[in-house]
Structure 1
Amino acid sequence: MKIAIVVPMAEEAEFYHQYFSSGKKEMFGSTEFEHFSVAGNDLYLGLTGIGKVQAAMNLTSLLAKEKIDLVIMTGSAGSLQKEVQRMDLVLPSEFAYHDAHNTSAGNYVEGQIPQEPARFKLDCAERDKFKDFLGKKGVAYKEGLVVTGDSFISSQAQKDEILGNFPTALCVEMEGAAFAQVAYHFNVPLIALRAISDNGDEDADNDFAAFVRKVGAQAAELIVEYLRENDF
């Protein structure tokens, strides 16, 4: 089975190298993907870069050239809800773009790109299997809507604007919906796991710098354990 792990930032990717020995490196788009063999599976690890365009461009470059069976995206996110705290894990069930406002362009809802689904839902057997793994390990997580945009959210005013359109959104980040949109068009299942690095408020910048490595390590450890223990 061919599995791709995609992360936006070097701080989030570095921990995977603690678990995998150096493998073959190959360029797909503008991203260098490292190729490992893990538990009999071919694993492609790529640092895609930050933001929607980088995420979509580099995942598309990989999927257009390799027959990937599963995409796993990890990384950090900012909380939008009081009950979602730093170091919490979020398992997205669906993604939307919080910066897509196209309701005046036709029969579209907030967060919808014209002629695309309103939400990119991650309902697949592979995700269900990962949920079972988290449950068996006793890993606590929040599950629900995650929203994506090209801005780092660092004020209560920004949070309030997003929540006005997406009151149930658990957290906000900068790549997930783009990964999900690409996976949707290539008909490849996607598992997403975000760890909360900040509260998306005026302290977000300081909190993010302090916590991004911690939450990156947290997510990486779970993903690696999942890959090693499960038969695909």
Structure 2
Amino acid sequence: MIQINQEYSFPLENVLFSFALAAEAAEVFESHHTLITGIGKVNAAYELTKAIQIKRPALIVNLGSAGSSFFQRGEVVCCTKFIQRDMDVRGLGYELYETPFSGLPPLLEYGLKMDGVNEGICGTGDNFEMGHSVTAYNVVDMESYAIAMIAMKEKIPFLCLKYISDGADDNAAEDWLVQVHKAAVAYGKLLQIK
């Protein structure tokens, strides 16, 4: 059983754990319903959509590494708001981060808040951000927006936890390589996965 907050808990057998990379899941999640999507929004959307068609979960949990110049390395952050940070169609009169004709606002608010975990806004894009200075979001990754959007459209509860592996700065690539393996252990402790 995963206890998210006072209102929501889910049996482990009904939870889909989504990771971009197997290294983020490690052996901690190998006996659970785990999906490795690959890196980026397109891979995440494709693999999650396939998985939902095969076995519809009661809860989707997106876990993975992320950068932040706001939160500390090694901290786990619960993201409940999402921005598609590489969507820029201002030239046609849309707001920055707004997807034309989608009916969705630039800031997608969909996700459960986990008790005792700091809350963040995740900026998802198909690039490894190494010079983060934007204030619209304080966590950067490459998959969460797509996963949150699909969960919302499918009306499946969604929990997004990000392990801060780097500062989304000049040292991001080097820091990520060192920290990414620690994510699974942190998630296992937080979610009490055995």
Q: TM class by shorter-chain length?
A: 0.7 to 0.9
Residue 73 of structure 1 aligns to a residue whose secondary structure is strand
List aligned pairs for 1:134-153, cutoff 5 A.
135=116, 141-153=117-129
Distance 1:111 1:203, change over 3 A: same
TM-score norm. by structure 1 comes to: 0.71
The answer on 1:121 being equivalent to 2:109 is yes
Give me the whole-angstrom Cα distance separating, in 1, the residues matched to 2:153 and 2:91.
Answer: 25
Equivalence for 1:4: 16
Residue 59 of structure 1 aligns to a residue whose secondary structure is helix
Q: Is the 1:103–1:109 Cα contact (8 Å) retained in structure 2?
A: yes
Residue 5 of structure 1 aligns to a residue whose secondary structure is strand
May I ask how many residue pairs the two structures share in their alignment?
180
Equivalence for 1:212: 180
TM-score norm. by structure 2 comes to: 0.84
Equivalence for 1:27: none
The answer on 1:67 being equivalent to 2:56 is yes
Equivalence for 1:33: none
1:105 to 86, 89, 92: 92
Give me the whole-angstrom Cα distance separating, in 2, the residues matched to 1:112 and 1:66.
Answer: 31
Q: Is the 2:83–2:137 Cα contact (8 Å) retained in structure 1?
A: no
Give RMSD over aligned pairs. 1.9
1:100 is displaced (CA, Å) by 0.3
Give me the whole-angstrom Cα distance separating, in 1, the residues matched to 2:57 and 2:92.
Answer: 35
Q: Choose 90-99 or 114-123, whichever is displaced more.
A: 114-123
* 1:172-199 superposed Cα distances (whole Å, 9 cap, x missing partner): 0000001011112211111000010001
Give me the whole-angstrom Cα distance separating, in 1, the residues matched to 2:23 and 2:80.
Answer: 25
1:168 is displaced (CA, Å) by 4.0
Equivalence for 1:57: 46
Give me the whole-angstrom Cα distance separating, in 2, the residues matched to 1:151 and 1:72.
Answer: 22
Equivalence for 1:138: none
1:200 is displaced (CA, Å) by 1.0
Return structure 1 stretches of 4+ with deviation > 4 angstroms: none
Distance 1:15 1:170, change over 3 A: farther
Answer 1 or 2: which has greater helix percent.
Answer: 1
Q: Choose 51-60 or 179-188, whichever is displaced more.
A: 179-188
The answer on 1:198 being equivalent to 2:166 is yes
List aligned pairs for 1:60-99, cutoff 5 A.
60-81=49-70, 84-99=71-86
Q: Of the two, which has the highest radius of gyration? A: 1
